[in-house]
Chains A and B, each alone.
Chain A
Amino acid sequence: MQRIEAARTDLLEPAEITEGDVDRLLGQIMAHDVDLGELYFQSRRSESWTLSDGIVKSGSFGQDRGVGVRAVSGEKTGFAYTDDIVLPSLSRAAGMAKSIARVGGDSSVALRKRFDASPRYADVDPITSATESEKVGLLQGIDAFARSLDPCVTDVSISLNASHETNFTVASDGSHAADVRPLVRFDVSIIAERDGRRETGRAGGGGRFDLQWLMDTEVGRQIAGEAVRVAMLNLDAVDAPAGAMPVVLGPGWPGVLLHEAVGHGLEGDFNRKGTSTFSGRIGEQVASSLCTVVDDGTMMDRRGSLTVDDEGTPSGRTVLIENGILKGYMQDKQNARLMGVAPTGNGRRESYAHLPMPRMTNTFMLAGESDPEEVLSTVSKGVYAVGFGGGQVDITSGKFVFSATEAYMIENGRKGPPIRGATLIGNGPEVMGRISMVGNDLKLDDGVGTCGKNGQSVPVGVGQPTLKIDELTVGGTSA
């Protein structure tokens, strides 16, 4: 209720729009033969501070607000938006959106659904949670700290991003929900140089909280220390091997494996359309029996968490794969209806100017029983990868890649020398079937994930315990 009040104050009142006006607009959309009419109001303030060359040289502020109007009729969607929250603009957008469907039909607006979604983050505003001087001081302090760690550090770049968003969804199916979302991200990037060789190291963290997370804590220094450690390590890296071999993935951020190898392929839209390598395979074995993978948007304070999704559905915990068996897909409203299942709270959109789609929240594998040391000890020659950049997947063929930024050779069961960055490539279901050991050390990432799909970016989380994959192609240069 508190969130709805906040949404009214932030989004409707400045425009002198009442909830009665919103209901009338929905009624106007439902005069056509549509299954779902929806208005999504959103306001987002964001702030960014960057430091390089030892000085905080730029600061920027962004403000974006508007309304997206959507009419869904079967598999069809009409969509228009406006950044001008006034009634005539809303009415025009509604007229455009409903034109996807025929006039008439027996559509109607359902009674408001009452529910109490438990908040998944505190009602805080990271932008106002510290003064400008405190933010600038923080960046300067971390810069000096990073430079003090090693004389080889030649460049330090730091960025602090914070945003605060209020959204309000009103839909003909009775959805009437608001959310107020904080988001913070802190990144450090290092260049280190020794004997004419230069290398880079990056680290970051964040989540849905305010800047107290960084102020007067060791978090910023830990992130800077991590970036310096990776840069120094990479100065000693040898060429990565090329070809198929056993790969052990460390816990936490390497869970980008799951995001690419199975996550996207289990989004409802691709499966309704039959274009995913996982289409029509519910109940089948799609991974080794050691694997249980969930998508959970309900975890407190995490970057991928949502109190309600961007269609007003409370976020949930969906078991995707249980003991290797495919259990379910992630759904938004349209795909859930067309597939005859319930929405799972995975309807997400980059902003009011974008259509919602089934998207991941926090996707991770549950812990197994193996001791991580024991996992390494079973590999005589292979690769141990603990840090990653991005990944990508072709959901139709199942091929996916992810790129290691911190990895080591494994030699006779022990961690060997560090290797240069290399891309790993495989086929989702095949690779999941080759997971032969799962560690007891489940860890979630530090809060830096951003997922892109159809040109839309949303914050996500990943996680996993240490995993052993019996064979995966490593794209190094040393054949």
Chain B
Amino acid sequence: MSLPSGAVFDSGVPGQVDLHNDRVVAELTDLAQRLLDEARRQGAPEAEVSVTDRTGLSVGVRQRDVESVELNQDRSIALSVIVDCRRGMVSTTDTRSSSIAEAVAKAVNFARHTQQDPCNGLADPDRLAKHIPDLDLYHPEALDAERQKADALEAEATALDFDSRIVNSHGSSAWSQSGCEVYANTHGFLGSTRGTQYGTSVVVVAQDERGMQTDGWYTTSRLSGELESPQMVGSRAARRSLRRLGGRRVRTGSYPVVFDAQTAKSLLGSLVAALSGGLLYRKASFLADSIDTMVAAEGFSLWQRPHLQRAGGSCAFDAEGVATKDLCFIERGVVRSYVLDSYTSRKLKLPTTGNAGGVFNLELEVGTTPLSDLLGSIESGFLVTEMMGQGINLVTGDYSRGAAGLWIENGEPAFPVDEVTVAGNLQRMLRGLSGYGDDTDVRGNIRTGSILVEGMTVAAG
């Protein structure tokens, strides 16, 4: 059965290309201003508000036919008021004018009941972004269910037809999203960002006499024209599923472990969490009091690059309106900056780093070693391509997670491995970093290639 052509245009999101045009931005801006005005009227000297509007269309297919068509339309408000160093917050999807006063009253009421904290407050005015560069994040196209359906079908068909051992599918999806966020505060800051995101993904099932294995692939970009082709996505998903067939366990012991680019992202994500102010001031991180301390191997440098054109994590100002900037968190193994917002910076008596809401395009200083050379240096070790579970303790750095991937013998992939764990302690793992691949994966907010860590414990049955 085919999706009736033009069907989505019944939705009230007519074939309009520019979903977050200047008129919509003005509407959201007006709403933000009225919320701030009402906050002042109700006696809150300081307030900040974020108004977000998002529209998305996702088409899912499975076994060569449409499975789902989902239209998402959300508009929401997050308001925070500060009264006498007390903070109250409210979030709502009720954006009607008639509801503004009630939302503000809720936030003010909460602020009256929380306790004074001198570190509460808006970002310092001199840190607010004055110039907001265009980062080329907004590339609107008309929502087109037919194109998305065709892409998803083609990606899945490529994977299903790739090899007779590809026997089933979890489905393929093609999505498009457009969003706009306006942030304003009573220091007079007002900024808006608009962005689009497109993507295609597919996950398939490979089978042999020993059972089923599943894996997938996805592509994502600010421009639909820059997505990998559906054929590329489908064939990668098929290859990744096939290479997991016949997985074995190995002898428990200590080995060098290479995290591939996708799993390395999660490792760097844990590191950023350990550097974030919210854990540091409570001494709930193994990296507490680590500024100017050598915590990692000398070859390891970690940056953020918030102003990359068209990138997934680009943003000119953070969630408090503070200007973002290129920042070195770890330079040749030494901690140079934490990840701070205004509150945590006041707790730690340091300047904010403009990271309210997180990091923006985290980037491992690009490795120059081809992955094959990285593996070539390994006599016996493990290339991790998937991790499972959340066995990470950031207070101690203890690290223990489920893993699957390929066993490396004499520098070459020898056989697939599954149902094993990789374990260590992040403090020792950081010092044991010894190689960085040039296979950088730029999807999403973390950009890294493969990472080699010496001396991890691989446990198996």
Contact = CB atoms under 8 A, between A and B. Distances in A.
B239 to A, nearest CB: 17
B8 A64 contact: no
Contacts of B51: none
Contact of B391 (A55, A243, A403): A403
A474 to B, nearest CB: 7
Interface string B275-298: 000000011100000000000000
Contacts of A353: 72, 74
Interface in A461-479: 471-479
Interface stretch (B16-24, B59-67, B125-133, B186-194): B59-67
B71 A79 contact: yes
Contact of A59 (B71, B114, B388): B114
Contacts of A422: 391, 400, 421, 423
B73 A136 contact: no
Given A274-B168, A392-B388, A83 B460 contact: no
Interface stretch (B104-112, B299-307, B360-368): B104-112
Interface string B25-60: 000000000000000000000000000000000000
Q: How large is the interface on A (under 10, 10 to 19, 20 to 34, 35 or more residues)?
A: 35 or more
Given A273-B170, A423-B391, A423-B421, A59 B88 contact: yes
Contacts of B116: 55
Interface string A32-57: 00000000000000000100110111
B70 interface: yes
A355 B70 contact: yes
A413 interface: no
A390 B389 contact: yes
Contacts of B247: 397
B252 interface: yes
Given A79-B69, A473-B460, A397 B168 contact: no
B113 A198 contact: no
A275 B423 contact: no
Nearest to A393: B388
A476 B389 contact: no
A397 B211 contact: yes
B12 interface: yes
Contact of B3 (A89, A99, A427): A99
B370 interface: no
Contacts of A83: 73-76, 93-95
Nearest to A75: B67
B391 A389 contact: yes
Given A92-B12, A273-B62, 11 more contacts: A55-B116, A60-B88, A61-B88, A100-B3, A100-B66, A200-B396, A355-B70, A422-B400, A425-B388, A477-B400, A479-B254
Interface of A: 49, 52-53, 55-66, 73, 75-83, 89, 92-93, 95-96, 99-103, 132-133, 135-136, 154-155, 157, 191, 193, 198-200, 240, 242-244, 273-275, 277, 353, 355, 389-392, 394, 396-403, 420-423, 425-427, 471-479
Interface of B: 1, 3-4, 7-8, 10-12, 62, 65-76, 87-95, 103, 106-107, 109-117, 120, 168, 170, 205, 211-214, 244, 247, 249, 252-254, 282-284, 388-391, 393, 395-396, 398, 400-402, 404, 418-425, 457-461
19 contacts: A56-B113, A58-B110, A62-B92, A73-B1, A75-B62, A76-B67, A100-B68, A100-B69, A132-B113, A191-B284, A199-B395, A390-B390, A396-B170, A397-B211, A421-B398, A423-B401, A425-B420, A479-B253, A479-B459
In the A-B complex, list the 4 residue pairs whose CB atoms are closest, starting with the nearest.
A475-B421, A99-B7, A401-B402, A95-B10
